[in-house]
Structure 1
Amino acid sequence: MIEQFKKDVDTGLSAQPKHLSSKYFYDDIGSQIFQKIMAMPEYYLTDSEFEILSLQAKQIAEKLNFYGTFNIIELGAGDGYKTIKLLKNFIELGLEFTYIPVDISKKAIDILLEKVAKEIPDLKVKPFVGDYFKLLSTMPNDIPSLVLFLGSNIGNFKKDDAQYFLKSIQNHLKPNDKLLIGFDLQKNPITIKNAYDDPHGITKAFNMNLLHRINNELGADFRLDKFDFYCHYNPVNGEVRSYLVSLKQQDVYIKSLDKSYSFDYNELIWTELSKKYSFTEIESFCTASKFKLTHNFLDCKHYFIDSLWSV
């Protein structure tokens, strides 16, 4: 893991323009900051999807059309805040299933298991730490699966990468399996901008922590007071792009790489993409990935979709 981190940091800071992968946001500190982001009133995504999974669980279950036991496989389970509500509702509906949370972080899985044990003690759980596709390739053929990819995580992928990822999921599923995937919809640009460039400075701290992590884990000498945060939403293409900005001409040395990196005054480091989708784009993704769109579940404000796809 640390070797890959070093490689990705070196590649990103050597590139023009510079970039750092958003997957490295989530160390222990970053995960705690992201919990604060999700609690912000401006960050509508969490509440919108929670509403869908809370109020439309019965409709989701009906559209699954599963008979008997099935698996619920959650890719990138995280803290399970929204998923636990869906699982509770499914149990109340009398459904029989095994929950299989998948995450690359053992600590994230451990925290989730502790939460699940408290809130749903009788739930059958088979956690998996590791690669999504390794897990999917081992699933039995005689039990259908509902795969969850929630939280608009697909929006962090570039278009071609998102398409490849979705096709890869489809290739690992069986004919009766389903995918429930979250998409953040295009909406009032001000609503989106406020969610990603909040007045509390929490999103800024989330991005700046990436430099703090590189300092701690790779022995860099980034001075955080010499960088700032900038975020931009383009309502034409639906992309939110986040950046760190060098406030001066400076060099940063990374001890574990034994290498210095030069930054110009006002030079940008691209840290995150968060794509917002139209209905047409979602349908195109579905078709191109060889899925069939079964149903779109929307929150009351039509801010967010959990889209159910069939193989």
Structure 2
Amino acid sequence: MIEVFKNEVDKGLQADSKTLPSKYFYDKIGDALFVEIMNLPEYYLTRCELDIFQNKTQELIEAFSVSTESYFELIELGAGDGTKTKELLRSLDAQNYNFDYFPIDISSNALNLLEKDLKNELPNLSVQIQEGDYFKVLASLKESKKPKIVLFLGSNIGNMSDDMAADFIYSLGSNLQAGDKLLLGVDLIKARHVVLPAYNDSQGVTERFNLNLLDRINNELGGNFNLNQFKHQPEYDELEGVAKSFIVSTANQTVEINATGKTYNFTEGEKIHTEISRKYNDALIEKIIEKTDFNLETKILDSKAYFADYILRRD
């Protein structure tokens, strides 16, 4: 993992337009900061999807087309702390559905905390934690041939370009069978005054989350980033429906990273692109899935119509 981290950091910081992969936000500190972000007043995304999971739980279950008489596998990509999913798990457990829950995450810390919480809250639930890359884990689960429902929540698909999202969903389909379902949670296109504060909160938690990526490079790769000379900068284009996060150098400076054996030059105002957060509408979702094996079956909205959970069926 460190070798991959090193290579991706080196490649991103040598590019003409510097980038760092958003997946490296999530270490132990990053996990904790993201939990804080999800509870911030400005961060509407979690509350809106939680609204669906709390108040339209039965609608979700009905959209899955599962029976209490037959077994299925409930697989979650990027499970995190499972706040929303627990609402669904409680309802499925209470109604005696026959299933195993497979949370997949690259963070062992997040998985261990989730497993511990679920043992306390839902002791009868079968939890099979899976640490690693989504597709490697899915490929191993594919062998079971059991019906599957895959959850990909939190508008995590929005961290990809549209072409990457289409490839991602196509690859998901290649690991599933006809009739399997995908619940795809996405943030909908909205006005700038609603979206931008979600990535630039008044308490500065999002800034600490973004800059923690530089701290992680310092700690794990022997970098010497001075975090006082970088700042967090979000941007949002409501016509395009894309929010972006950047780390911006506030001075002309040079950074050394021992693991790569290289130095990286930054000019004042130079940006490192760390994250994209795509917002969607029906037309965009249809376009993204048009060359995949999925068809759109159901769309479930939160009470504000800020967020949608799309139920897709694998043909």
TM-score interval, smaller chain: over 0.9
1:283 maps to which of 278, 286, 289: 286
The answer for the alignment partner of 1:7 in structure 2 is 7
| CA-CA distance at 1:33 after TM superposition | 0.8
Q: How many residues align?
A: 311
Deviations 1:81-117 (A, max 9, x none): 1111111012223322111111122222111100110
Q: What displacement does 1:123 show?
A: 0.2
SS in 1 for 2:169: helix
Match for 2:219 among 216, 219, 238?
A: 216
Which residue identity does 2:94 align to in structure 1?
E
**TM-score normalised to structure 2 length:** 0.96
Q: Identify unmatched segments of 5+ residues in structure 1.
A: none
The corresponding residue for 1:169 is: 172
The equivalent residue for 1:303 is: 306
What pairs with 1:197-212 in structure 2 (closer than 5 Å)? 197-212=200-215
**Cα shift at 1:236:** 1.3
For residues 140 and 55 of structure 1, what CA distance do their matches in structure 2 show?
35
Indicate the SS of the match to 2:275: strand
Partner SS state of residue 118, structure 2: helix
Map 1:1-311; keep pairs closer than 5 Å.
1-67=1-67, 68-137=70-139, 138-140=141-143, 142-311=145-314
Query: Aligned partners of 1:36 and 1:107: how far apart in 2?
Result: 16
Return the alpha-carbon distance in structure 2 between the equivalents of residues 250 and 131 of structure 1. Answer: 35
Is the contact made by 1:141 and 1:174 (CA closer than 8 Å) also made in structure 2?
A: no
Other structure's SS at 1:164 match: helix
Q: RMSD over aligned Cα, in angstroms?
A: 1.2
User: CA contact under 8 A between 2:27 and 2:107: conserved in structure 1?
Assistant: no
CA contact (8 A) 1:292 1:309 kept: yes
Sequence identity percentage: 43
* Runs of 4 or more above 6 Å deviation: none
Deviations 1:183-207 (A, max 9, x none): 1001121110111111111111111
Deviation at 1:140, TM superposition (A): 4.8
Structure 2 counterpart of 1:214, one-letter code? I
Amino acid in the other structure paired with 1:15:
A
TM-score by length of 1: 0.97
CA distance in structure 2 between the partners assigned to 1:277 and 1:34 by the alignment: 22
Q: Is the 8 A contact 2:190 2:241 kept in 1?
A: no
Cα pair 1:233 1:239 within 8 Å, conserved:
yes
Give 1:39 shift: 0.6
Query: C-alpha distance in 2, partners of 1:4/1:143?
Result: 33
Cα contact 2:188–2:281 (8 A) shared by 1: yes
User: C-alpha separation between the residues in 1 aligned to 2:216 and 2:196?
Assistant: 26
Mapped partners of 1:225, 1:142: distance in 2 = 52
